[in-house]
Amino acid sequence: MPRESEEPSKESRGELDLPSLEEVSERLHRARLRAEGDATEGPLEPTPILQSKLPDVPEWEFKKREIPGQLKVDTGSYLTLGVGLSAAYSLIGSTIFGWLIGKLIDQNGGFLAQAIGTLLGAVLGLASSIILIIRAQAKDAERK
């Protein structure tokens, strides 16, 4: 049992005295030299473990091979599809939004505010869809 004046040992505190990476690398290098029969006790050159690096990337020119009969995709068709879907959603969304506003205005079950809201929403949706399509066509013309 250790006395109070003595510090507990490293083992009793759960600490280990491990060598550094350089010491381990040097020991491995000396062991390899001893195994090969060349045991020297002088200072060693830096070991390959500490100087290792990834190999250089080889030069590689990759060209995708063309398959006869393969369809070539025109990205403009996807752009047109996106513009068309955006126009459709703005037309439908604004019509439903106008109907909901009319429903909120006339909560007593009347029909006039719902009809006016639906009509205004449809007109605004149609106008925004036309503006969206015209802008997309102008951008497409600039690209070409």
Domain limits, the chain: 18-51, 75-143
pLDDT of 131 strictly over 70: yes
> In which band, very low, low, confident or very high, does the pLDDT at 130 lie, cut at 50, 70 and 90?
very high
Residue closest to 136 by CA, chosen among 63, 82, 73: 82
Q: Is the pLDDT confidence value at 24 over 80?
A: yes
Q: Which of residues 7 and 91 earns the better pLDDT score?
A: 91
> Is the per-residue pLDDT at 11 higher than 80?
no
Q: What are phi and psi of 87, to 5 degrees?
A: -65, -40
Residue 41 has pLDDT above 80, yes or no: no
What value does the mean pLDDT take over residues 86-111? 86
Write phi, then psi, for 43 (nearest 5 degrees). -65, 145
Terminal C-alpha separation, the chain: 89
Give yes or no for residue 109 having a pLDDT over 80. Answer: no
State how far the Cα of 42 lies from the Cα of 37, in Å rounded to an integer.
Answer: 15
Question: How high is the pLDDT of residue 68?
Answer: 80
Render pLDDT for 42-77 as a digit per residue (tens, 0 to 9): 555 555 555 556 777 788 888 877 778 777 766 667
Nearest C-alpha neighbor of 28 from the set 52, 53, 54, 55 = 52
Mean pLDDT over each residue of the chain, to the nearest integer: 77
Handedness of CA 110, 112, 113, 117 (dihedral sign): positive
Number of Cβ within a 10 Å radius of residue 36: 8
